[in-house]
Amino acid sequence: MPAVMQAQVDDIIDGHPSTLALNAINLLVALCIITFNHGLQLRTLVWLALALSILVLRRISVNYLRGRIIVAQKPKSALFIMSLGAAASGFCWAALPFLIDDFAPLADDAALIILLGGLAAGSVVKQIGYTPLALVFSIPILCSIIFSLVRIGEWPEYLLAGCLMMLIYVFVRRSLWTERMFVSNQLARLEATALADSLTRANNDILRQNTRLEALANRDTLTGLANRMFFNGHLSGDIARAVVVNEQVVLLIIDVDRFKSINDTLGHSAGDTLLCDIGNRLRDTITDGSLIARLGGDEFAVVVTGERAMERARNHANRLLLASRAAIRCGATNSVIGLSIGLAAYPDHGANAEELLACADMALYDAKRLGRRQMREFNPDLKRDAERQRIIEQDLEKAIESGAVTAWFQPQINLATRDIAGFEALVRWQHPQLGFVSPPEIVNAAGVVHLSDRLTARIAADVCLLSKRLPELGIKGVTVALNVSPREFALYSVADMLERVTGEHGVDPSLIEIEITEEAILDPEIAGEQLKRLETAGYKLAVDDFGMGHSSLAYLISLKIDRLKIDRSFAQDVARFETNQKLISALVSLGESLSLDIIIEGVETAEDAAILARLGCTTAQGYLFARPMPVKQLEDWITEHQNKTPLKRKASHLSVAGP
């Protein structure tokens, strides 16, 4: 195995300098012993020179093997060359007994025998990694000693020669055993190294996988920005640090205006392209190291910390709003997107990450409510409004069931006779904690918590009760108007609900007027069929806030609308504004041409009422006549009004008949 051979070569080379040095020392010792016993001889000096030359050549060969990288590339060749060097030294030592005249191994030259034996034994003991090198050095020496003993021919020499032969056998066995142990150890080391390398590679692979998993766990795969999980941890950490160093953490929540319409019209791939482009714009705009994250969908966030955090956050928001004016390529078209931004800061607005995020969301919704494409900073009023809305939504169902949400009624008056021409039902709720809850708040909350049908049914029931009570109060044939939000036609069947409620109370549908705003008429897909059903069932239909929308005359005719209610904005100060008078006159003319009754809302002064009557308005309602009131108070008002009306008619008649 090349790796084992390489280890053997390395083992030999590591001990090579000391081996050569010991050989050189032993050569000098041998020369001293020979000179002392036999005197200085020329052939001994030649032998010494040859032996030293062999040592030098061995040293040169090792350097050559290293320099030519043969040691690393061809370990087998290196072992062969070094074994030749060892064999040369071994035969040189083996020749020594034959160069000495009258060599006496057990007498005068016993010291040389001991030296030679020690060299052979030392070679076997020292060179345990590669047996051939030790044996080619030691066996020639031992054989030379044996031959020197045998040629004397005496039994002590024979005995010693036999012992040496046994020693050779032991050397060979021991060398082979030690080599096997060396090889086994090297193999074990190599296996351990390979295992360690494998574990290292596996560990590196795991680390790389962990790095990739961490990136996947912390990064949004579409935009490459931080994702919501990383954002949550980072925001909490920034606030924890801000507590210690007493600094601000400012959060920007960014929402793409009308992103759903882009997805619906251009496709999700165009939407993804848009989100990626917005992510790039965020990176290009915010370059101060602030965290930029995509929270999901079309919502992004920026966390600003450090010095002047609030100032920098405002600058980021303004620059983002400016950058959003540039068109983005979405599919085959260019689209200009709008951004709405909410800002909140720790510790001014929230004490922790959850509160700060909630405050930034409130500011964002405020930006959208006020027209989008702007940045709004959180203020405590938003939180109070949100808490108020939460309480309204939470308590609305119970209030509907208990009757706390009820209908108040505002009379409608004939401007010529001052007779009662009808009533309009208006939702009212006096909350035990919040006080008066406005109708828009009630209607919006009902839509959020999916109670629109139950709310309208509750008011419709009050309308039916009043309609049945009116004949007892001396009022017959007038309608009671019920407002229906345009959104309700898409949420449930208004026609089915009204049929059920009027059926339960036994009320003639012709005495109930359904007031709808113009936008409902404009969507035949949603409202058209239900309005046709209401018309067929006999309900009166009125268009509320007429003049503020874009009604189609064709629909007004096809649906057989009975009444138009002119919006209150036209009635305000109509006596002083000629423009309003002209608009009302035009609307009255339109109503007359379509055979529609006209009623105007928001009449507050007698002067305005007189002008409106002159312009052709027949019916009006407003604070001039009566405010909305509960049923009990309304009954008292009706009685009082009925008693006054004859006097008013008489005064009106005298005024007309006078000079």
Least confident interval from 106-115, 330-339, 376-385, 392-401: 330-339
Q: Which of 111, 92, 120 is nearest to 38 (CA)?
A: 111
The domain segmentation of the chain, as residue ranges, is: 2-194, 228-378, 388-636
Of the pLDDT bands very low, low, confident and very high (cuts 50, 70, 90), residue 499 is very high
Q: What is the pLDDT of residue 655?
A: 39
CB proximity list for 341: less than 8 A, separation 6 or greater: 252, 253, 254, 255, 317, 320, 321, 364, 367, 374, 375, 376
Beta strands 299-305 and 420-431, pairing class: unpaired
Q: What is the pLDDT of residue 393?
A: 94
pLDDT at 625 over 90: yes
Structurally, what CATH architecture does the domain formed by 228-378 represent? 2-Layer Sandwich (3.30)
Of the pLDDT bands very low, low, confident and very high (cuts 50, 70, 90), residue 540 is very high
Q: What is the pLDDT of residue 42?
A: 86
Q: What is the pLDDT of residue 214?
A: 63
Cis amide prior to 646 (ω within 30 degrees): no
Q: What is the pLDDT of residue 268?
A: 76
Distance between CA atoms of residues 125 and 422, nearest Å? 126
Domains 228-378 and 388-636 share a fold: no
pLDDT at 549 over 60: no
Rg (CA), the chain: 55
pLDDT at 521 over 60: no
Of the pLDDT bands very low, low, confident and very high (cuts 50, 70, 90), residue 201 is confident
Least confident interval from 211-220, 405-414, 431-440, 575-584: 211-220
pLDDT at 204 over 70: yes
Of the pLDDT bands very low, low, confident and very high (cuts 50, 70, 90), residue 148 is confident
Q: What is the pLDDT of residue 621?
A: 93
Nearest-10 crossing angle of helices 380-402, 452-469:
50
Q: What is the pLDDT of residue 458?
A: 95
Q: What is the pLDDT of residue 653?
A: 42
pLDDT digit string, tens, across residues 72-92: 667 777 778 888 888 888 889
What DSSP line would sit under 575-609, residue for residue?
TT-HHHHHHHHHHHHHHHHTT-EEEE-----HHHH
Amino acid sitting at position 580: N
Q: What is the pLDDT of residue 79?
A: 76
pLDDT digit string, tens, across residues 375-422: 999 988 888 888 899 999 999 999 999 999 999 999 999 998 899 999
Q: What is the pLDDT of residue 646?
A: 58
Least confident interval from 173-177, 312-316, 604-608: 173-177
Average pLDDT of every residue of the chain: 83
Multiple choice CATH, 388-636, 3.40.50.300, 3.20.20.450, 2.40.50.140, 3.40.228.10: 3.20.20.450
pLDDT at 550 over 50: no
What does pTM read for this prediction? 0.59
Least confident interval from 47-51, 111-115, 519-523, 655-659: 655-659
The helix (H) or strand (E) run that includes residue 273 is helix 268-285
Q: What is the pLDDT of residue 516?
A: 84
Q: What is the pLDDT of residue 652?
A: 45
Q: Which one has a higher pLDDT value, 254 or 8?
A: 254
Enter the tokens of residue 194. 């390979």
Of the pLDDT bands very low, low, confident and very high (cuts 50, 70, 90), residue 656 is very low
Q: Which of 295, 287, 285 is nearest to 320 (CA)?
A: 285
Q: Percentage helix, strand, coil, to 5, in the chain?
A: 65, 15, 20
What DSSP line would sit under 318-355, residue for residue?
HHHHHHTTS-EEETTEEE---EEEEEEEETTT-SSHHH
Q: Which of 452, 525, 538 is nearest to 492 (CA)?
A: 452
